[in-house]
């Protein structure tokens, strides 16, 4: 350290406390970075790497960015998973001898960004903290620093389940104790999640935040708040008490199922288009958009709350004109939650307060519309709408109608709000008018039309006369101020006097205006909890109206719930697929699961619509339990506690897991965690391994779900041999997606019908995909050979059966009965009654296995 200059020593001392962050070190009009920070940042930000003399023998690597454009560079670093510590000058360099005092004023991290181009107004931006409570049980707390919304819950499972929940909520930073950091870091890095260590559990100021949380979750909340307080170095007044999410109150959908169902992100594009959120988002406020996503993440599992939401949507459908009036008013409401966040942080400007004022002005009209509806249900929504009239009045009196971007530019405070400010403004404005009059007076006195009075920061006000006109002026009245190449600048005693008045008035006016603005902002801070409550009410109102719009636009139906487990959907549709194609072309389908038949085995060719059919059933349940109408003519539904899907195939390259391994892991998660009130969707389980292995696994899973879990289940397969399980599993029923051949080509009817499919049409699908004709021809030949081989095997079985004399004509039935046990007689009768000609080789093998098993048990 002793070999470096004092400034570099200061830099290294500050950097020692922020080893995991890029240190933006303020030097005049630039943020500079040195040493390794400079080398790395120059590569990431694609800026020039230079060097400077720092007192040592070797020059120090250095790069920098202008302070006025630093925001974009900081955002780039944070988006790439880095932290940035902002170190500002805390003293005026002109008034300081030696090294200027500098301090880190904030650390910006992936989870603590509160603004920027990457911040989607309709998406929450969470940071989370987690710790292990017991084996297989974790606490997870998370908050959105930009809005103050905060939640805490319990995650059951291992570290992978925690990471899955973070992915589901799009959380990019997790705060953990050091011990958990060691066990989770590799997994987190593979999913682009930054782990940050925080050991402090100080709770002095944080007890009010956990008033509604179980005691064993407090440490997770305290750890998160300590980290935020340490990095943000600013008040946390706007953070709301953490809401404890009781698992039983919500429909649980794991990350894989949310991805497979494309609730918020499409599988192919990775964006919003083609998702359920894309279809349902008719909200007109940013707050409403975020609330919709929260409801998508956690639909309800409480029948009373679900039906209350549905009732509100029904009322808005019945009150069209009220709905339209309120919707138009909502369009003029700004993001109250994030405005409150900026006010709490002290970063709100004049335009933010003007937006808050304009938003609050709309609340009385919204309340009036709801009250005039005559509906008690809609009138009840007004109870949470505190119009915060005191705030609105204060802002109406104090903030100008069109304030500038910067608070320090002036004209933020209205005339008439403060007497002293009015006096200073009058002096400034009057002085400038006097100068304009003086310029005209001097022109007339001298006859010099080009004479002008100007101003610059160095010389102040001056009278400028070109050298060609100097002989026309009475120089005895002027005092020379500056000489230019073609002009002289002068000043008079009068001008000096007015200059002092004007400049002092401007400077004092700006200082007073900033002071008044700060006082107003501090006063509004005391109203933040009321503003947040209002924001929550308005966001819910926005979602309800959006649901009514969707229901009306797409012909959705109000679902009916019951306390049983049966499910009936008449003419159900996949809402997203229907929107993306012509409504007239979409083929609706029924789905009925009863207590007696709650497992459905779906067969049919590829591209026939099996996966779409399964997804539409799940989406119908998700929408209904959000409180939204559903795409069907009729829907009578149970309250489902969990949805698990195993649809689609994808390698997990980051962890080296194959498609089949991913399939098995997702299946295991579903089977272990499902209850008899869950919905399970399994699409072609076992296709990633050999035919016999896959078929055996699929059958074993179906048997286990049928016998041990009892959940409503949709199971699609290409293993036609499994269709015989309806004889063994009493709650299983076969259905198929119909297809037909016309002129040698397959036509998909997309209609679900009873019974198993008779053909797979695999080669026809390949032909539709335009595989080379030679391949199609050869595949048809091979298929014919295989079918002939199968027929030969069946013929051999028939001959062998005829040679067996199971009931010898020489013996009576009584004699046979005496020679065999009851189990053997049942087996003999099953063999006698078996339709061998209509049995495939695999079905025959299964039949023989079942017979053998029954006899061995004896």
pLDDT digits (tens, 9 = 90+) for 453-482: 998 878 889 999 999 999 998 888 899 999
Q: Name the domain boundary from 721, 736, 770.
A: 770
**Rounded Cα–Cα distance for residues 440 and 478 (Å):** 16
Based on the fold, state whether residues 654 and 640 are members of the same structural domain.
Answer: yes
Torsion, Cα of 345, 350, 351, 353 (10° steps):
60
CB 300 within 8 A of CB 621: no
φ, ψ of residue 771 to 5 degrees: the values are -65, 155
The percent of residues above 70 in pLDDT, for the chain, comes to: 86
Based on the fold, state whether residues 697 and 741 are members of the same structural domain.
Answer: yes
- Is 36 within the bounds of a domain? yes
Based on the fold, state whether residues 548 and 567 are members of the same structural domain.
Answer: no
The percent of residues above 90 in pLDDT, for the chain, comes to: 61
Q: What is the pLDDT of residue 788?
A: 67
Based on the fold, state whether residues 97 and 135 are members of the same structural domain.
Answer: no
- Is 254 within the bounds of a domain? no
Q: How many domains does the chain have?
A: 6
- Is 98 within the bounds of a domain? yes
For residue range 396-447, what is the model confidence (pLDDT) as tens digits? Answer: 999 999 999 888 888 999 999 999 899 888 887 888 888 888 899 999 999 9
Query: Higher confidence at residue 86 or residue 761?
Result: 86
Based on the fold, state whether residues 514 and 543 are members of the same structural domain.
Answer: no
**Binding region:** 604-611
Q: Name the domain boundary from 741, 770, 799.
A: 770
Instruction: Tell me the average pLDDT of the chain.
Output: 87
**Rounded Cα–Cα distance for residues 480 and 348 (Å):** 46
Pairing of strands 252-253, 642-646: parallel
pLDDT for 369 beyond 70 = yes
* Enclosing H/E stretch for 376: helix 376-380
Based on the fold, state whether residues 53 and 163 are members of the same structural domain.
Answer: no
**Domain CATH code at residue 625:** 3.40.50.300
Q: What is the pLDDT of residue 641?
A: 96
| Residues 6+ away with beta carbon under 8 Å from 656 | none
For residue 286, which of 406, 127, 115 has the smallest C-alpha distance?
A: 115
**Rounded Cα–Cα distance for residues 606 and 629 (Å):** 30
**Rounded Cα–Cα distance for residues 229 and 231 (Å):** 6
- Is 476 within the bounds of a domain? yes
**Domain CATH code at residue 151:** 3.30.420.110
Based on the fold, state whether residues 591 and 705 are members of the same structural domain.
Answer: yes
In angstroms, the first-to-last Cα distance of the chain is 87
pLDDT category at 654 given cuts 50, 70, 90 is very low
- Is 749 within the bounds of a domain? yes
Per-residue tokens: 443: 């022109």
- Is 276 within the bounds of a domain? no
Q: What is the pLDDT of residue 697?
A: 85
CB 219 within 8 A of CB 126: no
Based on the fold, state whether residues 546 and 566 are members of the same structural domain.
Answer: no
Based on the fold, state whether residues 135 and 66 are members of the same structural domain.
Answer: no
Based on the fold, state whether residues 104 and 148 are members of the same structural domain.
Answer: no
Query: Higher confidence at residue 153 or residue 496?
Result: 153
CA 525 to each of CA 235, 346, 417, 531, 638: distance values in angstroms, whole numbers, following the listed order: 11, 9, 20, 10, 45
pLDDT for 642 beyond 90 = yes
This prediction's pTM: 0.83
- Is 115 within the bounds of a domain? no
CB 650 within 8 A of CB 659: yes
User: What is the domain extent for residue 32?
Assistant: 6-108
Based on the fold, state whether residues 818 and 751 are members of the same structural domain.
Answer: no
**Domain CATH code at residue 542:** 1.10.1420.10
**Domain CATH code at residue 12:** 3.40.1170.10
Q: Cβ of 813: how many Cβ atoms within 10 Å?
A: 9
- Is 278 within the bounds of a domain? no
Look-up of token digits 């697929």? 577
**Binding region for ATP:** 604-611
Based on the fold, state whether residues 656 and 712 are members of the same structural domain.
Answer: yes
Taking residues 379-384, what's their average pLDDT? 89
Q: Which residues pair with 740 in a beta bridge?
A: 747
Q: Of 233-247, 290-304, 803-817, 839-853, which gets the smallest average pLDDT?
A: 803-817
pLDDT for 787 beyond 70 = no
Instruction: Tally DSSP H helices, then E strands, for the chain.
Output: 27, 27
Q: What is the pLDDT of residue 648?
A: 63
Taking residues 55-75, what's their average pLDDT? 92
**Rounded Cα–Cα distance for residues 437 and 102 (Å):** 48
Q: Name the domain boundary from 217, 245, 273.
A: 245
For residue range 540-584, what is the model confidence (pLDDT) as tens digits? Answer: 999 999 999 999 999 999 999 999 999 999 999 999 999 988 666
């Amino acid at each position: 350290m002793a070999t470096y200059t004092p400034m570099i020593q200061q830099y290294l001392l500050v950097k020692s406390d922020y080893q995991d962050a890029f240190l933006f070190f303020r030097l005049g009009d630039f943020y500079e970075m040195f040493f390794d920070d400079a080398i790395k940042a120059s590569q990431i930000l694609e800026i020039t790497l230079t060097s400077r003399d720092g007192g040592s023998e070797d020059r120090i690597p250095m790069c920098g960015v202008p302070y006025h454009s630093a925001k974009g560079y900081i955002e780039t670093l944070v988006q790439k998973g880095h932290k940035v510590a902002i170190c500002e000058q805390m003293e005026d360099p002109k008034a300081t001898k030696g090294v200027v005092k500098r301090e880190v004023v904030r650390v910006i991290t992936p989870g603590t960004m509160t603004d920027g181009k990457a911040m989607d107004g309709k998406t929450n931006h969470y940071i989370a903290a987690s710790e292990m409570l017991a084996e297989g049980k974790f606490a997870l707390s998370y908050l959105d620093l930009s809005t103050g919304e905060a939640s805490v819950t319990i995650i059951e499972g291992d570290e992978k389940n925690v990471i899955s929940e973070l992915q589901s909520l799009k959380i990019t930073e997790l705060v953990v104790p050091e011990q958990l950091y060691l066990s989770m870091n590799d997994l987190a890095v593979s999913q682009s999640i930054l782990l940050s260590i925080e050991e402090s559990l100080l709770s002095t100021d944080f007890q009010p935040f956990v008033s509604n949380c179980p005691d064993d979750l407090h440490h997770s909340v305290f750890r998160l708040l300590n980290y935020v307080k340490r990095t943000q170095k600013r008040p946390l007044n706007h953070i709301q008490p953490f809401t404890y999410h009781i698992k039983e109150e919500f429909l649980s959908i794991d990350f894989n199922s949310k991805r497979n169902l494309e609730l918020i992100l499409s599988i192919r594009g990775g964006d919003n288009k083609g998702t359920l959120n894309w279809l349902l988002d008719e909200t007109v406020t940013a707050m409403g958009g975020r609330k919709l996503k929260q409801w998508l993440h956690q639909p309800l599992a409480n029948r009373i709350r679900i039906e209350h939401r549905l009732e509100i949507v029904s009322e808005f459908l019945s009150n069209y004109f009220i709905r339209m009036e309120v919707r138009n008013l909502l369009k003029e409401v700004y993001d109250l939650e994030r405005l409150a966040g900026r006010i709490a942080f002290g970063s709100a400007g004049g335009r933010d307060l003007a937006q808050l004022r304009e938003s609050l002005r709309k609340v009385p009209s919204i309340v009036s519309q709801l009250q005039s509806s005559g509906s008690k249900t809609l009138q009840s929504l007004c109870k949470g709408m505190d119009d915060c009239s005191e705030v609105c009045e204060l802002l109406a009196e104090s903030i100008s109608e069109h304030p500038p971007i910067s608070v320090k530019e002036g004209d933020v405070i209205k005339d008439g709000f403060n007497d002293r400010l009015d006096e200073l403004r009058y002096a400034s404005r009057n002085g400038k008018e006097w100068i304009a009059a003086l310029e005209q007076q001097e022109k007339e006195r001298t006859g010099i039309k080009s004479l002008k009075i100007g101003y610059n920061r160095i010389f102040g006000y001056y009278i400028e006369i070109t050298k060609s006109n100097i002989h026309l002026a009475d120089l005895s009245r002027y005092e020379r101020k500056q000489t230019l190449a073609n002009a002289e600048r002068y000043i008079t005693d009068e001008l000096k006097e007015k200059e002092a008045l004007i400049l002092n008035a401007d400077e004092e006016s700006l200082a007073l205006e900033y002071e008044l603005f700060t006082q107003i902002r501090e006063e509004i801070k005391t109203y933040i909890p009321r503003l947040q409550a209002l924001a929550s009410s308005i966001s819910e109102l926005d979602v309800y109206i959006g649901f009514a719009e969707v229901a009306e636009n797409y012909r959705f139906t109000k679902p009916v719930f019951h306390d049983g487990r049966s499910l009936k959907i008449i003419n159900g549709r996949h809402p997203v697929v229907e929107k993306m194609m012509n409504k007239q072309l979409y083929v609706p389908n029924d789905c009925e699961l009863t207590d007696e038949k709650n497992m459905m085995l779906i067969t049919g060719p590829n591209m026939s619509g099996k996966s779409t059919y399964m997804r539409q059933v799940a989406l119908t349940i998700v929408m209904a339990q959000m409180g939204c109408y559903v795409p069907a003519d009729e829907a009578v539904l149970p309250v489902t506690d969990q949805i698990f899907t195993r649809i689609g195939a994808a390698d997990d390259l980051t962890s080296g897991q194959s498609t089949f391994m991913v399939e098995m892991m997702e299946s295991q998660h579903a089977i272990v965690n499902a209850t008899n009130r869950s919905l399970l969707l399994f699409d072609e389980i076992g296709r990633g391994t050999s035919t016999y292995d896959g078929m055996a696994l699929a059958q074993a899973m179906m048997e286990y779900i049928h016998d041990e879990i009892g959940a409503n289940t949709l199971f699609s397969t290409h293993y036609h041999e499994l269709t015989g399980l309806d004889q063994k599993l009493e709650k299983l029923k076969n259905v198929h997606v119909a297809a037909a051949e016309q002129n040698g080509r397959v036509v998909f009817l997309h209609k679900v019908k009873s019974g198993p499919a008779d053909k797979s049409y695999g080669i026809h699908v390949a032909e539709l995909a335009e595989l080379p004709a030679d391949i199609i021809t050869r595949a048809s030949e091979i298929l014919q050979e295989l079918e002939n081989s199968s027929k030969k095997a069946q013929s051999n079985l028939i001959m062998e059966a005829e040679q067996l004399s199971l009931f010898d004509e020489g013996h009576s039935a009584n004699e046979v009965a005496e020679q065999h046990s009851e189990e053997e007689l049942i087996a003999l009768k099953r063999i006698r009654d078996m339709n061998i000609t209509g049995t495939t080789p695999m079905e025959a093998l299964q039949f023989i296995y079942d017979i053998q098993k029954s006899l061995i048990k004896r």
